[in-house]
Amino acid sequence: MKAILTGNEAAAWGARLSRPKVIAAYPITPQTSIIETIAAFIANGEMDARYIRVESEHSAMAACIAAQNTGVRTYTATSAHGLALMHEVLMWASGARLPIVMSVVNRAMAPPWSVWTDQLDTMAERDSGWIQVYTQNNQEVLDSIIMSYKIAEKHNILLPTMVIEDAFILSHTSEGVDIPEQKKVDDFLGEYEPAFKLDPDEPAGFGSLIMPEGPYMEFRYKMALAMEDARSEIRKVVEEYNQVFGREYAPFVEEYKTEDADAVMVVIGTIGSTAKDVVDRMREKGKKVGVARVRYFRPFPAEELRKIAKGAKMIGVVDRSYSFGPGADLFAETKSVLYGHADIPVKNYVMGLGGRDITPRIIEKVFDDMLSVAKDGVVDKEVEWVGLQGDERWS
Amino acid sequence: MMKKLTIPEEEHMLSGHTACLGCGATIAMRYVLKALGKNTILSIPACCWAVIPGVYPHRTLDVPLLYTAFEVTGAAISGIREALDAMGKEDVNVVGFAGDGGTADIGLQALSAAMERGHNVFYIMYDNEAYMNTGIQRSGSTPMGAWTTTTPGGKKRMYKWEPKKNVAEIMVAHNIPYVATATIAYPEDMIAKLKRAKEIKGPKFFQILSPCPTGWRHPPDKTVEISRLAVQTNMFPLYEVINGKYKISIKPKNPKPVKEYLRLQGRFRHLTEDEIEMIQKNVDENWKALLKKERCSQEE
């Protein structure tokens, strides 16, 4: 069924089609229309789920953890401060190996208050043990939720997953979306089969005290292995989904005209759409540029980025967040995985923070800068803040 | 003729727990499980009881147990309940079992919300009147005049001078169907209340005074005696509130002076006669207020 949906409506549809039995949610702009749409689905009898209207995001995640541990599929959604408030229990969800799926609408962290898009909220949770998939359009938002349940619930994975969309650019923007048939989704996902659960007939304790000589370290190691195993499961599930539902998702990195590109822009989220458009225009002028849009930040697509870097003369990494480390997160991790594999310059472009518009014109200027780095073979300034007030260079 | 024994013989707390000698919270858990039976799921946050069941893979309880973060008990029992109901398992008891810090302080928000939403759950606050698992720090539930490691007295006599936060009354204000206080010296009363509550659908809140020899500074063999004195002095009255109606469980004919309760515990040893008098006055006022509430709520 074709419909015109916002990103948040698409997320609600993704959840509805996946049939979670318990939803616990707390409102935060710009996530609210996800949980409102789900409330309406339930109120109209279109969705059969228990809906816990919790008093905080911390409790939303805690309730999902407890419900999932009791043996049902769960779903929640949040954004920025809500995600930060969840931080403690995000670690609990992954440590407890509960395949919860959560939508996160990327929003800037205050102060000053900003409800607009910025990826610091999710980037700050990169070490929480959650799989992270970033989306580019509303179709991908819907599809990624369904795929995420299938991947996360595999008994060799059992890691929770964040399905991430940019605030407003996706969350509140309508586009045509193909809503898959419920029957097809049911066949694709199957019934939820918990690997373990709270059950009076088979009493067990979950999350008890452990001594340094106990298997704490082994539990973390198993999580690390599961995150590695997720690579092959993601590949399999995305291929299967493409086949069943007629999509064309690249599992980890969507490449656009990278094969012969001198300068490849590595991006994440909706910047990918704009950048691809700019690539077409620049290709017409004979400029050899390409885009690599990272979908999964966790697990990090190391092999894919190394392969892309092999044919390029330079890599420019665009981050819509800043981490106060050696550049921003996508840059730091990209550079880290390229070390020893590709001896080419890597430059970081930090832009669009707090929802500042990233226009085709700015992207084109960045590409030109990247091409000059590709030509010279050296990076003058490793971390470039693009589009600061009063900086004429990028306007 | 002997009075009929009302304490069930069934045991769901096995031997091998790691609690301190004379731990009141351990006795409380044993009675709770005797009353509620095997068809029960427990949720326990950070507190003494996160440690008492034993170190992985040992477990002294033969009911399923979900350990959680400190402040989430209210949310966790909501999640368990809704998941069970979604699976058609409405007969399973869901019990949050949390200390006073996890209830009166850090967990109050999640508790309040869970009670307000009306889930069919038990929330049991085992009240040992301080953060005992972390080493006796003051909580909102620490009684007036008590020494703790964060109210250590010193030259400025910096003890806990504020009155004990009344969590049971906060729960009554949520208009939930069942609120009760209990203590381990009165197991028949505690078990009768738990069994009554089991028949009620909706949120049920229990505050169980659980003496802590380590933190209260009393010999382990005095745990039950102190628990009994708490009731006999009106320091900790036993009552229940069913659909807003108060019923005091035990009304001591001639209440003993609070001094008898205080003098058995090292945490109160520094108190002067004047300070004891102040505590006595506070206890008397609270008792009078409770009698009034009982009278008023029973009137039609």
* pTM exceeds 0.95 for this model: yes
Of A53, A62, A67, the CB nearest to B83: A67
Domains of chain A: 2-245 (3.40.50.970), 253-394 (3.40.50.920)
Q: Say if the Cβ atoms of B64 and A199 lie within 8 Å.
A: yes
When the pLDDT of each residue in chain B is averaged and rounded to a whole number, the result is 97
Long-range contacts of range A360-363, CB-CB < 8 Å, 24 or more positions apart? Answer: A360/A274, A360/A277, A360/A278, A360/A281, A362/A386, A362/A387, A362/A394, A362/A395, A363/A265, A363/A271, A363/A274, A363/A275, A363/A278
Q: How confident is the model at residue B5 (pLDDT cuts 50, 70, 90)?
A: low
Q: What is the pLDDT of residues B27-82, one digit of tens each?
A: 999 999 999 999 999 999 999 999 999 999 889 999 999 999 999 999 999 999 99
Q: What is the amino acid identity at position A208?
A: S
Q: What is the pLDDT of residue A395?
A: 78
Contacts of A377 (CB under 8 A, 6+ apart): A313, A314, A345
Radius of gyration of chain B from its Cα atoms, rounded to whole angstroms: 18
Other residues' Cβ atoms within 10 Å of the Cβ of residue A180: 21
Residues of A in contact with B64 (CB under 8 A): 198-200, 202-205
Residues of B in contact with A63 (CB under 8 A): 75-76, 78-79, 82
DSSP label at residue B102: I
Are A283 and A233 in contact by the 8 Å Cβ rule? The answer is no
Contacts of B222 (CB under 8 A, 6+ apart): B22, B211, B213, B264
Strands (DSSP E) found in chain B: 40-44, 65-67, 93-99, 122-127, 178-183, 204-209, 239-242, 245-248
Per-residue pLDDT averaged across A312-329, rounded? 96
**Percent over 90 (pLDDT), chain B:** 96
Q: What is the pLDDT of residue B171?
A: 98
Answer whether residue A316 shows pLDDT above 70: yes
Please tell me if residue B78 touches chain A, with a CB cutoff of 8 Å.
Answer: yes
Write out the two tokens for A264. 């490849």
- Tell me the C-alpha distance between A361 and A366, whole Å: 9
Q: What is the pLDDT of residue B299?
A: 84
Write out the two tokens for A18. 């996946």
Which of A70, A73, A128 is the mutation pick for testing B, counting most B CBs within 10 A? A70
Are B138 and B131 in contact by the 8 Å Cβ rule? The answer is yes
Q: Say if the Cβ atoms of A50 and B85 lie within 8 Å.
A: yes
Q: What is the pLDDT of residues A95-124, one digit of tens each?
A: 999 999 999 999 999 999 999 999 999 999
Are A366 and A316 in contact by the 8 Å Cβ rule? The answer is yes
Domains of chain B: 24-298 (3.40.50.970)
Answer whether residue A69 shows pLDDT above 90: yes
Q: Is the peptide bond before A111 cis (omega within 30 degrees of 0)?
A: yes
Q: What is the pLDDT of residues B87-134, one digit of tens each?
A: 999 999 999 999 999 999 999 999 999 999 999 999 999 999 999 999
Q: What is the pLDDT of residue B204?
A: 98
Per-residue pLDDT averaged across B211-224, rounded? 98
Of A62, A72, A210, the CB nearest to B83: A72
Q: What is the pLDDT of residue B6?
A: 82
Among A234-238, A304-308, A359-363, A390-394, the least confident range: A390-394
Residues of A in contact with B83 (CB under 8 A): 21-22, 50, 66-68, 70-72, 74
Among A104-108, A384-388, B3-7, B160-164, the least confident range: B3-7
Answer whether residue B2 shows pLDDT above 90: no
**Percent over 90 (pLDDT), chain A:** 99
Q: What is the pLDDT of residue B3?
A: 64
Element (H, E) at A298: strand A296-298
When the pLDDT of each residue in chain A is averaged and rounded to a whole number, the result is 97
Q: How confident is the model at residue B300 (pLDDT cuts 50, 70, 90)?
A: low
Residue in chain B nearest A48 by alpha carbon: B86
**Percent over 70 (pLDDT), chain B:** 98
Upper half-sphere CA count for residue A266 (Cβ side, 13 Å): 33
Contacts of B199 (CB under 8 A, 6+ apart): none
Q: Which residues 106-145 on chain B approach chain A with CB closer than 8 angstroms?
A: 109-110, 112-113, 117
Answer whether residue B1 shows pLDDT above 70: no
Of B38, B69, B112, the CB nearest to A89: B69
Q: Note the Cα A118 to chain centre separation in Å.
A: 13
- Tell me the C-alpha distance between B192 and B194, whole Å: 6
End-to-end CA distance of chain B: 39
Q: What is the amino acid identity at position A225?
A: L
Other residues' Cβ atoms within 10 Å of the Cβ of residue A172: 15
Q: Say if the Cβ atoms of A214 and B76 lie within 8 Å.
A: no
Write out the two tokens for A353. 């923070």
